[in-house]
Amino acid sequence: MNWPDWDQLQKDDRRVIWHPYASATDVPEIFPVIAAHGVHLELADGRRLLDGMSSWWCAIHGYNNPALNRAVRDQLFDMSHVMFGGLTHPPAVKLARLLTELTPPALERVFFSDSGSVAVEVALKMAIQYWYSMGRPGKQKLVALRNGYHGDTFGAMSLCDPETGMHHLFGEVLPKHFFAPAPQCPFDGDCPEQELAAMTELLSVHHQEIAAVIVEPVVQGAGGMRFYCPDYLVQLRALCDAFDVLLIFDEIATGFGRTGKLFALEHAEVEPDILCLGKALTGGYMTLAATLCTGQVATGISEGEAGAFMHGPTFMANPLACATAIASTELLLSQPWQRTIRRLNSELEQGLAPARELEQVAEVRTLGAIGVIELKEAVDMKRIQPMFVERGVWIRPFGKLVYAMPPYIMGSDDLASLTAAMVDVVAQA
């Protein structure tokens, strides 16, 4: 493709595009990408950036992967899309079967959607409709954790932290749910009983109106990149059972190996009633998400008043996306991915360690293929983003966090360059 020059791209972008979490009038510097290969992004001016973000955590195999390219091409010649109402197709059936084989045995049904936020919307609706079908229509509230993030659509926003989250401007119009304190127990520590005291109190007092508890297992992602003790999930499962409340795990950010387990729930060996997947599901090629639920939830909804689950995305189970998700998952499983994640974790820990000596740094932490430098003050995005680009890396900080979630294929030398740039920029910024 013949691209216009750098200046023209910038001008056209500023004139007609509105970027995520950005102003349409005071537009920050934007960097045009014209190609991507392996772990590098190629800019319109010829520069190459080492991608430390996996395109918001989804491109786990890097870019232009031959196996995923082939899956898209092969499926394209059969059909790119077909409606899912009243029809089915092999990629959807194969992917659903694969997901139920990889996740806990109780999760028997798969509902496909277009994005992680919608997967959370689906989970929320499943929980509420389930209890309505069970003759308990008063159970319409959810409990979420402080510092949590579950997406940008209205239902998902209502489950994000209403004070420290990104959606407080909408607080007056969002549905009102309950919030429990975020776990403070470290990932490799114990979870004392008092960690769940507030959650226990909430469920004890309000369980008659609570449909489900939703959490990001082990890792709270966009709400702060916080890691917490797996035993918290064990105790939370017991609480939900005791108070007759469903448990939802949002693994959109953590699924498919990112934490060192295929799914973060495996750290605790806990089975949720509903599980949300997305992001890395297709290896970053196509937008696709899935909400899995137990047979009990599926049967309860189906035998209720409506006789059906009341949701149906137009592009549900898109064949191109499903075929790519199969290829991505099979590619991951065909490799020694656990060893790869251990290597990435060791190198992230080693590379980011010098940041602990910096006065402006509050904490450095790593888990699986996640590396985080938490600062004492929020970063200046307009200043810090170009600094990373000047050093040939792509890192997208937010708030007080400078973090990396690199593609799993990133080699040791590239990862060392990435972490060195992170420490260097933090030291200067």
Secondary structure of 251-317 in HEC code, one letter for each residue: CCCCCCCCCCCCCHHHHCCCCCCEEEECHHHHCCCCCCEEEEEEHHHHHHHHCCCCCCCCCCCCCCC
Classify residue 313 as exposed, middle or buried by CB count within 10 Å of its CB (0-12, 13-18, 19+). middle
Question: Are 285 and 324 spatial neighbours (Cβ–Cβ below 8 Å)?
Answer: yes
User: Among residues 161, 279, 285, 403, which one is catalytic?
Assistant: 279
Q: Which residues contact 268 (CB under 8 A, 6 or more apart)?
A: 217, 218, 230, 231, 232, 233, 234
For 411, the token pair is 């080699």
For 105, the token pair is 């045995």
Q: What angle do CA 91, 96, 101 make, to 5 degrees?
A: 125
If you search the block for the tokens 């992230």, which residue do you land on? 348
User: Among residues 21, 26, 188, 413, which one is catalytic?
Assistant: 21
Let me know if 149 is a catalytic residue. yes
Let me know if 21 is a catalytic residue. yes
Q: What angle do CA 108, 111, 112 make, to 5 degrees?
A: 135
User: Among residues 63, 130, 149, 403, which one is catalytic?
Assistant: 149
Spell 94-126 as b/e; 16+ CB within 10 A means b: ebbebbbebbbebbbbbbbbbbbbbbbbbbbbb
User: Among residues 231, 250, 273, 414, which one is catalytic?
Assistant: 250
User: What is the spatial distance between Cα 235 and Cα 233, in angstroms, rounded to a whole number?
Assistant: 5
3-state SS class at 111:
strand
Question: Are 291 and 122 spatial neighbours (Cβ–Cβ below 8 Å)?
Answer: yes
Let me know if 250 is a catalytic residue. yes
Enzyme catalytic residues: 21, 149, 250, 279
